[in-house]
Amino acid sequence: MAYPALFLDRDGVVNVDHGHAVTHREFEFMDGVFDLTRMAMDRGYRVAIVTNQAGIAHGDFTESEFLQFTGWMVDAFRIRGVDIAGVFHSPYHPQGQVQAYVRDSFWRKPSPGMILEAARSLGLDLSRSILVGDQVTDMLAAARAGIGRKILLGQQPQQAADHNASHLREVIPFLTGWSNRPPGIRH
């Protein structure tokens, strides 16, 4: 049986977006992110992070630095009782400065590559999954991947989103029931 997932964008959803954060001093977890992810796990969701990291392509930090910092972030969740099933990132950008990462990639949102890879590698049912993002590109990637519910955090309503939320606690009611329903049933 495939699992539903709670997909989270990183900058602006997992952490306050202060620009490209790859050190502990630059990183501030969003209020409510641990409560939301614990609740998701309790209801049978796998938690995955899908994040564009154009700072790698622009030379702001290396992919190795990003991966090392991601390990710290995942450990911070684990300490608080949350198992992050996977972190998927796109280091690419068409106008980057680091030649190895200069391209338009299927993994870069609004394309669905990261989400589809997460579904494949983690055994996810995207139709019963939720994505929370803070950009229209997050909503478009979710729609293109076939995610069942798209929630836009902290912005004016957009047609690409199913729902808008001003705080992560507003996402919790959407977690009810899907994890225990057979695939294909939505409310």
Which member of 11, 125, 134, 138 is catalytic? 11
What is the C-alpha to C-alpha distance for residues 124 and 131, in angstroms, rounded to an integer? 13
CATH topology of domain 5-175: Rossmann fold (3.40.50)
H or E element at residue 69: helix 63-79
Residue 9 is among the residues annotated as catalytic for this protein: yes
Of 9, 125, 134, 138, catalytic: 9
pLDDT in tens, the chain (187 residues): 899 999 999 999 999 987 766 666 778 999 999 999 999 999 999 999 999 999 999 999 999 999 999 999 999 999 999 999 999 999 999 999 999 999 999 999 999 999 999 999 999 999 999 999 999 999 999 999 999 999 999 867 778 899 999 999 999 999 975 444 434 433 3
* Matching residue, tokens 């009782």: 81
Catalytic status, residue 162: no
Measure Cα distances from 110 to 30, 51, 98, 105, 123 in Å.
Answer: 23, 11, 21, 10, 22
| pTM assigned to the model | 0.91
